[in-house]
Chains A and B, each alone.
Chain A
Amino acid sequence: MNSFGSQLKWQFVLLQKNSIIAVSFAVTLMYGLVLYFLRDINGLDKLVVALVLNDPSVIGYFFIALSIYIELKHQILQAIFVTPFNLHHLLISKVISISLIGAVCSLGLAFSVKGFDFNIVLFAIGSLAISVLSALLGLYMLTFSDEILKFTMTSIPVFLVFVNLPLIQYLGVLELGVVKYILPIQGSLDLIDYAVSGTTVNFVYAVVSIVVFIPLFYWMAFRRFSSKIVHQ
C-alpha cells in the first residue's frame, strides 16, 4: 500500500476508535427511522435537504478540527511534522475519510425517505461536495483558534453564512437573487435538490461551482495550515 493509501486507512481507524463512524451511523439510523415514519407528510423533501445540509457539514467541519486539535494537544502532529511526511497526503486523507462518512450518512437519510426513487449519483456528488467543502473550511478556520471551544465560538458566524444562508434561501424565507450563486455550497445544494425533488437546475453552474470551490478551499486551507500549524 502506498503512503497515501496507508494514511487514508489509518484515518478511518482513528475515526472508528473515536466512535465517529459508529455514532454518525447510529444518528443517521435514528433520523432515518423518524423520516421513514414521517414520509407521507408534505414538504419532507425540503426537510431531507435541510438535514443533509446540516448533518454532513457538521461532521466535516467540527470533527476534522477536533481531531487536529487533539493531535496537536498530544504532540502527535508535531512528531509527524519532523518526519519526511507529505502534508497533502495528510490533509487529503483526513478530508476524504470524514467526508465519505458524511456522504454515506446523507445517502442513508435519502434512502429512508425516497427508497431508490431519487438520483443517487447526483445526490452522492452533491452531499460529498458539501462534506468536502465543510471539512476544508474547518481546516482553514481551526488555524485561528488554539482550542476547540474558541473554535466553536468563532465558527458560529462562519457556519451561519456557509450553511444557514443557502438553507434559508432554499426554504424561501430569504431571496438572495444572483448573490446565491457565489455561495460555496449553492451548486451542491442545487444537485441535491434536483436529485430528491426534480427541481430545475443549471447543471453547468452546479458542476463549475463544485470544481471551482473545492480546489479554492483546499488551496486556502493548505496554505493557512502549512504556515500557521506546520511551520509555526
Chain B
Amino acid sequence: MKKILKLAFTDFKLIFRDPSLKSFLILPLVLFALIIWAVPPLLEEYVFLVPYLSLFLVVAVIENTQLFCFINTMVLIDEKESEVAKVYGIVPLSKLEYIVSRFLIPYLFTVALNLILLFVQTICELSVVSILLISFLAALVVPVYALAVNSIVQNRMQGMVYVKAFNMLVLIPVAAFFVPDKFVHLFGVFPTHWVFQSIHVATQSLSIGLHAAIGFVFLLTLLWLVSRIFIRKHFG
C-alpha cells in the first residue's frame, strides 16, 4: 500500500510539472461557474428548459470526469510513445498495483469535484446519499475510459481520434432523455446511461439504489475487463 501511494503521488505530480496539462485544471472551475451562476438565471429566463434541469447536472457531472479521462489517456499514451511503459513493466509492483497507483488520485480527485459540484449547485435538491453514490459511480468512468483508449491506440494521433469517439460514447445516453419511457433503457448498453439515470432519479427525490447498483456492477466489470486487456497490450 505504501508503494502504491508513493507512486500515486509521484505520478500525480507529473500533471503539475507539465504546464499544458496543469492548465486543464482550470476547466472544472469554468464548469462550476457555469453551473452556479449561469444555469439558474437561464432556467428562470427560459421556462421550456425546466423539464431538462436534470440534464444540466448530467452534463456537468460527466464533464467533470472528462478532465482526468483526457489527462490520464494522454499521459499513458506519452509513456507508450516514449517507451517509459516498458520500464513500468519491470518495477517491483504487480500490474494491478500499477493500475491502482495510476488511477487512485485521479479517481478520488474526480469524486471530490463531483461532490463539491453536487453540494454547491442550486438547480435541484439532492440527498447526501445520492450525492455520494453519484460521485463515486461517475468517477469510475475515468479509469475505464483511459484504460480502454490505451488498450486500442498506438500513438498520440490515434489517441486523439479515439478520445473523440469515446467522448461520443460517453455522452450518447443523453438521448435517453428525449425518447418515450419504454425506450429509455435501450441505452443501458452504454455504462454512462446508469450514471445519467441515477442523477435523473435523484433529482426527482427518488431512491437511486437500483440504477446506481447496476452502474457500479457494469463499470466495475468493464474496469476489470479493460485492465486485463491494457496489461496485455501496454507493457509489450
Contact, CB under 8 Å: B161 / A153: no
Q: Could you mark each residue 135-162 of chain B with 1 if its beta carbon is under 8 Å from any beta carbon of chain A, else 0?
A: 0000000000000000001011110111
Interface majority SS on B: helix, strand, loop or mixed?
Answer: helix
Kindly identify which residue among B74, B161, B175 contacts A23, using a CB–CB cutoff of 8 Å: B161
Interface size grouping (class) on chain A: 20 to 34
Is A67 part of the contact surface with B, judged by Cβ < 8 Å?
Answer: yes
Q: A147 near B165 (CB under 8 angstroms)?
A: no
A23 touches B23 (CB 8 A): no
Contact assessment for B179 and A26 in the assembled complex, using a CB-CB cutoff below 8 Å: no
Give the chain A neighbours of B156 by CB distance below 8 A. 66, 70, 148
4 more contacts with CB within 8 A, not counting A58-B164, A70-B157, are A27-B165, A30-B169, A31-B168, A63-B161
Question: Looking at the complex, which of A34-42, A113-121, A181-189, A217-225 is the stretch in contact with chain B?
Answer: A34-42
Interface: A79 (CB within 8 A): no
Say yes or no: B168 contacts A27, CB within 8 Å: yes
The answer on a CB contact under 8 Å between A149 and B74 is yes
Smallest CB gap from B169: residue in A = A30
Residues B175 and A37 in contact, CB atoms below 8 Å apart: yes
Q: Across the interface, do A30 and B160 meet the contact criterion of CB distance under 8 Å?
A: no
Residues of chain A with a CB closer than 8 A to B178's CB: 38, 41
Chain B residues within 8 Å of A, Cβ to Cβ: 18-21, 23-24, 74, 153, 155-158, 160-162, 164-165, 168-169, 172, 175, 178-179, 183
Q: Which of B23, B158, B175, B183 contacts A153 (CB 8 A)?
A: B23
* Minimum C-beta distance from A174 to chain B (A): 12
Give which listed residue, B18, B20, B153, B168, contacts A30 with CB less than 8 A.
Answer: B168
Report whether A38 and B175 are in contact in the complex, using a CB–CB cutoff of 8 Å: yes
Residue numbers in B under 8 Å from A63 (CB-CB): 160-161
Which residues of chain A are near B155, meaning CB under 8 Å?
18, 70
Tell me the A residues contacting B by CB distance below 8 Å: 18-20, 23-24, 26-27, 30-31, 34, 37-38, 41, 58-59, 62-63, 66-67, 70, 147-150, 152-153
CB distance from A166 to the nearest CB of B (A): 19
Nearest to B19 among chain A residues (CB) is A150
Q: How far is the CB of B163 from chain A (nearest CB, A)?
A: 10
Taking CB atoms, residues of chain B closer than 8 Å to A148 are 156, 160
Instruction: Give Cα A20–Cα B161 distance, bound, in whole angstroms.
Output: 6
Contact A18 B24, CB 8 Å, known A26-B165, A34-B175: no
Report the bound CA distance from A41 to B162 in whole Å. Answer: 30
Closest Cβ neighbor of B160 among chain A residues: A66
Tell me which residues across on chain B come within 8 A of A19, comparing CB atoms. Answer: 153, 158, 161-162
**How far does the alpha carbon of A209 sit from the alpha carbon of B80 in the complex, in Å?**
45
Q: Give every chain A residue within 8 A of B172 (Cβ-Cβ).
A: 30, 34
Given contact pairs A38-B178, A70-B155, A153-B24, A23 touches B162 in the complex (Cβ within 8 A): yes
List, in ascending order, chain B residues with CB within 8 A of A37's CB.
Answer: 175, 179, 183
Complex Cα distance, B165 from A59, in Å, reads 11
A58 to B24 CA separation, bound complex (whole angstroms): 18
Q: How far is the CA of A67 from the CA of B155 in the complex (A)?
A: 11
Contacting pair A27 B158 (CB below 8 A): no
Q: Which residues of A contact B23 (CB under 8 A)?
A: 150, 153
Report which residue of B24, B155, B158, B161 has the largest number of chain A beta carbons within 10 angstroms of its beta carbon. B161
Which chain B positions have C-beta within 8 A of A150?
19-20, 23
